[in-house]
């Protein structure tokens, strides 16, 4: 039976989803103008709260809506129906530019495929989001170095992504996501491409970062899910359990 999450702490949630539905239109436009295009309901009336300090897993079979929910929680997308509030601001009706600003100020995002810039060093990759903030070069370097230290890459700061292993690249991506000190860190299948031991390092880095913020991880990986405080389970776009 679907149920909304109970906030585990006294602090107000950093992200809330209220009765969120997300539909996508499938396929390209028909040449017959009146023919309706099929829609797919990726999420169906899902309500969740994410509170500061929580380490939350999102689980479910492929196609159950995990990435869709994660993108909505991160403010990368907006729902077809319902409301998503990020750090007290509703994402509904915001311009793309204001939503990008909201993300920059409150959210760090880690993707399965890292998305690091190949031509610059690990440290420069980590420092990149601070350029948008207008922070000076020496402070950027200082913060990026401290973050790389935190994820155990103090001896890799000047290496380029191509000179690093998959697990090291993912830790650079986590450091980059944390450099703006976001209230919520969102990670989509962060161990998907990594071997068991390397995956463990990534889980440790994510778990450690949840002491200061909410961390939400979509994953198929039971090793990740068993480390989280709470697991939101989806099936066919519906919330089937949360706890």
> What b/e readout covers 128-158, taking b as 16+ CB neighbours within 10 angstroms?
bbbeeeebeeeebbebbbebbebbebeebbe
Total residues contacting ligand ADP by CB under 6 A comes to 12
Q: Is 192 in the site for ligand ADP (CB under 6 A)?
A: no
Q: Rounded to whole angstroms, how far apart are CA atoms 144 and 158? A: 11
- Stretch of residues binding ligand ADP (CB under 6 A), selected from 63-71, 73-81, 117-125, 203-211: 63-71
DSSP designation for 193 = T
Contact by Cβ (8 Å): 23, 196:
no
Near ligand ADP by CB under 6 A: residue from 59, 66, 114, 167 = 66
Q: In sequence order, what are the residues at sequence separation of 6 or more whose Cβ sits closer than 8 angstroms to the Cβ of residue 238?
A: 2, 44, 45, 46
- Listed residue (187, 199, 165, 111) closest to 156, CA to CA: 165
Q: Rounded to whole angstroms, how far apart are CA atoms 101 and 107? A: 10
Toward ligand ADP, which CB reaches closer, 46 or 50? 46
Q: Is 53 in the site for ligand ADP (CB under 6 A)?
A: no
Min dist CB 197 to ligand ADP, Å, is: 25
Near ligand ADP by CB under 6 A: residue from 1, 10, 26, 33 = 26
Q: Rounded to whole angstroms, how far apart are CA atoms 180 and 103? A: 10
Q: In sequence order, what are the residues at sequence separation of 6 or more whose Cβ sits closer than 8 angstroms to the Cβ of residue 140?
A: 127, 130, 131
- Stretch of residues binding ligand ADP (CB under 6 A), selected from 11-19, 66-74, 201-209, 224-232: 66-74
Min dist CB 2 to ligand ADP, Å, is: 16
Toward ligand ADP, which CB reaches closer, 28 or 138? 28
Min dist CB 83 to ligand ADP, Å, is: 19
Min dist CB 40 to ligand ADP, Å, is: 5
Near ligand ADP by CB under 6 A: residue from 3, 12, 19, 40 = 40
**Bridge pairing between strands 39-50 and 15-25:** antiparallel
Near ligand ADP by CB under 6 A: residue from 62, 138, 196, 211 = 62
Structure tokens at 170: 């993912």
**Bridge pairing between strands 214-218 and 184-188:** parallel
Min dist CB 196 to ligand ADP, Å, is: 22
Toward ligand ADP, which CB reaches closer, 62 or 211? 62
Q: Is 67 in the site for ligand ADP (CB under 6 A)?
A: yes
Binding site for ligand ADP (CB under 6 A): 24, 26, 40, 42, 60, 62-68
């Amino acid at each position: 039976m679907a149920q909304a999450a109970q906030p585990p702490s006294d602090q107000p949630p950093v992200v809330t989803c209220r009765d969120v539905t997300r539909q996508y239109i499938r396929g390209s436009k028909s040449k017959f103008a009146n023919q309706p295009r099929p829609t797919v309901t990726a999420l169906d009336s899902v309500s969740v709260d994410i509170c500061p300090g929580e380490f939350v897993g999102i689980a479910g079979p492929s196609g159950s809506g995990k990435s869709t929910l994660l993108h909505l929680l991160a403010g990368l997308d907006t729902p077809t129906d319902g409301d998503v509030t990020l750090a007290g601001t509703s994402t509904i009706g915001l311009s793309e530019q204001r939503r990008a600003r909201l993300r920059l100020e409150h959210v760090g995002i880690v993707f399965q495929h890292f998305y690091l810039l190949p031509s610059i060093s690990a440290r420069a990759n980590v420092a990149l989001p601070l350029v948008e903030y207008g922070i000076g070069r020496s402070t950027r370097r200082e913060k990026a170095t401290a973050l790389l230290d935190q994820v155990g890459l103090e001896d890799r700061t000047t290496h380029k992504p191509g000179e690093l292993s998959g697990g090291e690249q993912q830790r650079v991506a986590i450091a980059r996501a944390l450099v703006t000190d976001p209230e919520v860190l969102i990670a989509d299948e962060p161990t998907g491409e990594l071997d068991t031991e390397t995956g463990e390092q990534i889980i440790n880095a994510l778990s450690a970062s949840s002491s200061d913020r909410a961390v939400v991880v979509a994953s198929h990986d039971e090793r990740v899910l068993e480390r989280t405080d709470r697991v939101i389970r989806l099936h066919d776009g519906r919330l089937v359990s949360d706890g």
